[in-house]
Amino acid sequence: MPRTIILWIIAFLLTAGSAYYQRTTGPTYPVSGTTAFGSTNVEYTLTRTHGGEGNQEVSIIVPDTKITGRVLFKRYKTGDPWDICPMRRQGDKLIGELPHQAPAGKLEYRVEMMYGIEVLELPGEGATIVTRFKSDVPAWALIPHIIFIFFAMLFSLRAGLEALFADAKPRSYTLWTIGLFIPGGFIFGPIVQHFAFGAYWTGFPFGMDLTDNKTLIAGIGWLIATIAFWSPGSEIVHPKRRWVVLGASLVMLFVFLVPHSMFGSELDYSKLDQQHLPDGQVQTE
């Protein structure tokens, strides 16, 4: 099998694997499980993100009708007391709701199942789930963002693998990478961020959003590699420049292995509360 086909296969597998790892290890990936309780098994999938209008539904599969449940919740990183939402039965499910929050608002919650005097806490005794709210993102913005980023990662890895060989010519892969990454990370990325949380950019120097910051780091790495290989034939005149491409590829792989939405946009409830008096009147200073 030709070397180029083998390298493309490896690049694709690494890209798909890193995308899966990033997604499933992120703080918005649901927490699922099955546990025995009462006379049945309780199956749960506790979501950690909610998009669009309306409340967030919390649904647990509980066939035994003698089991009841409730959802306890409060605003994240506040001293609020726990609120309680009784769960209603709908067939084999118990369903509760978390009240809608402003974009980037977070709620901390847990579920309690009751069977007689027995109590089951989900996701575990003393454990809680943190969920983040966001607005809907239109498909015309989200789909191109995902496609551009995926293929930028694919060409980045392909360029890095190409750079391992002394007779390689990674220039074309470098230009493809930067050409895909700019619209994916710096055009559609901020558009998606704005629709979801109301801000185009919350990374450096305006904030600490890890998604934006890792995009910036990867972008700088590939900008350096692009400058090194901008002139046609530069890879032939200066073969050692291929190590710059390998470095940019490794940097991009590393930053995109960071779990998705880690240290993402977060509403500061303390600042929000300062804008309102106890009776709900807006405070003026």
Confidence at residue 166, expressed as pLDDT on a 0 to 100 scale:
76
Q: How far is CA 3 from CA 16, 74, 184, 236, 266, in A?
A: 20, 56, 29, 20, 46
More confidently predicted of 282 and 254 = 254
The total of other beta-carbon atoms located within 10 Å of residue 183's CB is: 16
List, for residues 158-183, the tens digit of each pLDDT value. 999 998 887 777 888 999 999 999 99
What the block records as the tokens of 41 is 């098994």
Q: Would you state the pLDDT for residue 56?
A: 96
> Collapsing DSSP states into helix, strand and coil, what is residue 108?
strand
Q: What are the structure tokens assigned to 122, written together?
A: 């989900």
Topology of domain 38-134 in CATH is Immunoglobulin-like (2.60.40)
Q: What's the Cα-to-Cα distance from 126 to each of 43, 69, 109, 148, 259, rounded to whole Å? A: 19, 16, 11, 41, 24
User: Nearest to residue 247, comparing CAs of 224, 230, 215?
Assistant: 224
* Per-residue pLDDT at 238 exceeds 70: no
CA quadruple 206, 209, 212, 213: dihedral positive or negative? Answer: positive
Q: Of 12-21, 42-51, 230-239, which range is least confident? A: 230-239
Contact 49, 109 (CB under 8 A): no
Does position 267 have pLDDT exceeding 50, yes or no?
yes
Residue range(s) of every CATH 2.60.40.10 domain in the chain: 38-134
User: 31-40, 121-130, 160-169, 272-281: lowest mean pLDDT where?
Assistant: 272-281
Higher pLDDT, 208 or 156: 156
Inter-axis angle of helices 188-197 and 171-186, nearest 10: 20
Amino acid letter for position 60? I
pLDDT at 221: 94
Here the tokens at position 104 are 């980037």
Q: What is the DSSP letter of 26?
A: S
